[in-house]
Structure 1
Amino acid sequence: MSENSTTTPSNDEMAEIEWEMRPGGMLVQKRIGASDVSTPNLRLRIAFGAVRIEISVNSQATFGEVKKVLTVETGLQPGEQRLIFRGKERENGEYLDMCGVKDRSKVILMEDPVSIEKRSIEMRRNARIQTALRAISDIALELDKLVDQVSVIEKSFSSGVKVSEVQITTLIEMLMRHAIKLDNIPAEGDATAQKNLQGKRVRKCVETLDVLKLSNAGLKPVVVTTKWETFDPPPNTAHWENFD
């Protein structure tokens, strides 16, 4: 049987072991001449790396049922476990007593390599998310101060008090610098929602200041236009080269 297989026996072992399907769908080793006499529990010594665990299970339990017990002890799900007895990985449906497991027998527990890699990837992902959340939180604290300043300017305008255009422009520049910082934060998971939230705060403040800036400019006596192409040339200046 392949060492990586945990559910389907090989053709050679099918000839050695008879299997049957339980009502729940689990393929288990078929018992021959099972008795009605109550069966004793076995104490199994589980070696999991440097950790030693002792559990008690029924002698006629399957290795799959042992994995369920070990889930409570180790936190590993049955699909993440590999049980080795007498140098051989055991199938979920194999019975302990029919494989020669006795009281105080030693069983080696190994974590499936695929689950190790998945957990490593998840840990790295969580670390990235936490780093992003801390960076976003720092920006949010700075934005709180800028938002307060925008509110003060809004109240001044509402009261008819003119605000320096330099003050408004400076605030917009500070907000845009924070927007750039947010864009440079690689976010995923929960950090994405927080990043978007702070981005909306920046946009709202900038839009508010843009409106106030236009209102502030409207109070000035000089009208400024950017459509220079609409200006007519001054009269009597078409032939400057004729002047001595």
Structure 2
Amino acid sequence: MSLPGLKDEPLRSNMRPGGAFIQGPNVAVEGDGSIASFPSSPPGGAMIKINVSHGSSLHEVQLPAQSTFRDVKKLLMPRTGLDPQEQQLFFRGKEKDDEEHLHIEGVKDKSKILLLVDANSGEKKHEEIRQEEIKNEEEISKGSEAVAGVRAEVDKLSQRVIATKMAVDGGHKVSEQEFLVLTELLMRQLLKLDGIEAEGEAKMQRKAEVSRVQNYVDTLDSLKARNANPFESVSVTTEWATFDSEEENVNASSSSTSTKVTQDWVQFD
């Protein structure tokens, strides 16, 4: 149901094959790629066309008379490639603020507006880029410091892992508690590394430290298994030695029997 005096006016926009957007009178493309739409003219209002001069170019823009100069900038952005903050709009020789309304400032159908590029916009962009680079460097520095802190703790634990390995290799029995404590401490360092936000070089450092800690955990698992069966390898060696001894006895017995038979044949002859 329509209100008296209010006509339904569809949103006018076009799409080229492949999804390319063509600006309509009531729509514009935001800086982030999103589409902004302006309301149709209210009862008693009107759509106006204004001419915007930009260098040697002249852009015709259609929008509601009650729109703001910010709305004009949004419509000009896809045509000029300038972000709204880079644009300066002048009407009757005066720069207009973004929040000022066209109809209040006297802009009418076929009025002419001058568009200039803000001279400070380049410096502003450069400053924004510089600040972003500083922020990234600070984040990388924080990440590297955090990884370095974990690395120092892992260095201490690595000495205990080495000492444990030497003990097991030497045939000494190591307490089960030592393996449990060392493994737990190393897993805590892995959790710390997982919680570090890192980019760039710091991210590579974190990855290398994670691999290092995991190797120590694997080493402890292997040592723990050997520590539980310290005489396993000795037992195997003894069994092979016994087998070799029995084989030598069999060979000796066979040799003796062969000699005896030979002697018997000699006596028979």
**Shorter-normalised TM range:** 0.3 to 0.5
Q: With structure 1 as the length reference, what TM-score do the two structures score?
A: 0.45
Structure with greater helix share of residues: 2
Q: Specify which structure has the bigger relative contact order, considering alpha-carbon pairs within 8 angstroms and separated by 6 or more residues.
A: 1
Q: With structure 2 as the length reference, what TM-score do the two structures score?
A: 0.41
Greater gyration radius: 2
